[in-house]
């Protein structure tokens, strides 16, 4: 056997050994790279669409602005709107029925709008105020489980009146008396607009086991169109219609499966390239 043939066989066997190692190591690294999230709940799913609401067992009203001095005290379960209240208290697009208007705010994946009071979505600062004046935030909390520590991916389908931001972990920052927020890691960016559902995508560092998950809901101060010297707050509430969920067959979340698919495609591309350079059919 001449040296060129022997060298080609050694190179080819070495490439096959390397590829076999990649085939074993690659999927394992992908599986452990992204924590698997479970137990993060959509809003209002305990109450069938079309029926009355009640308190949501998963979502808690966690913090009010320090400027708020009304009768509500944080630390209770949020309310799922029934839609039985007068129209001026619960906006028509927020509940099922003939007033829904064909919008996708209600009923997607069995989710419903939740808020601060039973069948009453009015702002916590009622009345008319002189301008200028700040918006205000209310913070809601729930929890989820992670199978490991690391950076987890999140995709959340949501709508809010008027805007919503999501955080993992942290504590309440009350530097602004009207707009408390969280010191934890924010997922993506603030989602604005309540006319239709939209996605918030991003990642955050999680711990193994139980993690706290926060929704910071912002209610806008609206200047009166007839008198720009005064303004009011409108209704407030939010909805989450999709969260990271586990594939029942593989036990992994959808984003992890997608990342694994991309890794597999890349491995096959590298295998074809290495086989070519090691004396494969097109490298003779």
How far is the C-alpha of 192 from the C-alpha of 211, rounded, in Å?
Answer: 25
Give me the mean pLDDT over the 197-201 stretch: 93
Residue with tokens 């955050």: 204
Is 247 inside any structural domain?
Answer: no
CA angle 51, 53, 58 (to 5 degrees): 130
Confidence bin at 103 (pLDDT 50/70/90): low
CB 235 within 8 A of CB 91: yes
pLDDT of residue 48: 87
Is 165 inside any structural domain?
Answer: yes
Q: Do 223 and 278 reside in the same domain of the chain?
A: no
pTM for this structure? 0.76
Closest CA to 142 of 57, 54, 81: 57
Give me the mean pLDDT over the 79-88 stretch: 76
Is 249 inside any structural domain?
Answer: no
| pLDDT tens digits, 129-146 | 999 999 999 999 999 999
Residue 100's domain comprises: 38-242
Is 185 inside any structural domain?
Answer: yes
Q: Do 199 and 62 reside in the same domain of the chain?
A: yes
Q: Do 29 and 72 reside in the same domain of the chain?
A: no
Q: How many domains would you assign to the chain?
A: 2
CB 185 within 8 A of CB 204: yes
Q: Left if phi > 0, otherwise alpha if psi is -120 to 50, otherwise beta: which for 278? A: alpha
Q: Do 67 and 164 reside in the same domain of the chain?
A: yes
Q: Do 73 and 167 reside in the same domain of the chain?
A: yes
Q: Do 86 and 222 reside in the same domain of the chain?
A: yes
pLDDT exceeds 90 at position 83: no
Q: Do 261 and 130 reside in the same domain of the chain?
A: no
Q: Do 130 and 269 reside in the same domain of the chain?
A: no
Q: Do 23 and 57 reside in the same domain of the chain?
A: no
Q: Do 272 and 169 reside in the same domain of the chain?
A: no
How far is the C-alpha of 116 from the C-alpha of 123, rounded, in Å?
Answer: 9
Q: Do 152 and 179 reside in the same domain of the chain?
A: yes
How far is the C-alpha of 31 from the C-alpha of 250, rounded, in Å?
Answer: 11
pLDDT of residue 99: 52
Q: Do 137 and 227 reside in the same domain of the chain?
A: yes
Is 220 inside any structural domain?
Answer: yes
């Amino acid at each position: 056997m001449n040296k060129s043939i022997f060298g080609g066989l050694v190179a080819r066997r070495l490439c096959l050994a390397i590829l076999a190692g990649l085939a074993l190591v690659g999927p394992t690294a992908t599986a452990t790279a992204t924590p698997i999230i479970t137990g993060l709940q959509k809003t209002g799913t305990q109450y069938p669409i079309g029926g009355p609401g009640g308190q949501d067992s998963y979502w808690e009203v966690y913090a009010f602005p320090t400027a708020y001095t009304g009768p509500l005290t944080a630390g209770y379960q949020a309310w799922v709107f029934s839609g039985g209240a007068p129209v001026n208290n619960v906006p028509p697009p927020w509940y099922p029925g003939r007033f829904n208007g064909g919008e996708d705010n209600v009923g997607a994946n069995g989710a419903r709008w939740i808020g601060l009071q039973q069948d009453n979505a009015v702002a916590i600062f009622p009345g008319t105020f002189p301008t200028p004046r700040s918006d205000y935030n209310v913070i809601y909390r729930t929890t989820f489980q992670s199978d490991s520590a690391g950076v987890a991916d999140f995709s959340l389908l949501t709508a809010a009146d008027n805007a919503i931001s999501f955080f993992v972990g942290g504590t309440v920052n009350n530097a602004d008396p009207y707009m408390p927020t969280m010191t934890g890691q924010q997922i993506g960016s603030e989602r604005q607009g309540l006319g239709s559902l939209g996605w918030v995508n991003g990642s955050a560092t999680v711990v193994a086991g139980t993690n706290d998950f926060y929704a910071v809901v912002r209610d806008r101060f609206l200047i009166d169109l007839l008198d720009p010297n005064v303004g009011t707050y409108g209704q407030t509430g939010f909805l989450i219609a999709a969260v990271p969920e586990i594939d029942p067959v593989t036990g992994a979340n959808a984003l992890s499966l997608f990342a694994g698919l991309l890794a597999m495609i890349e491995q096959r591309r590298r295998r074809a390239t290495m086989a070519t350079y090691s004396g494969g059919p097109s490298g003779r």
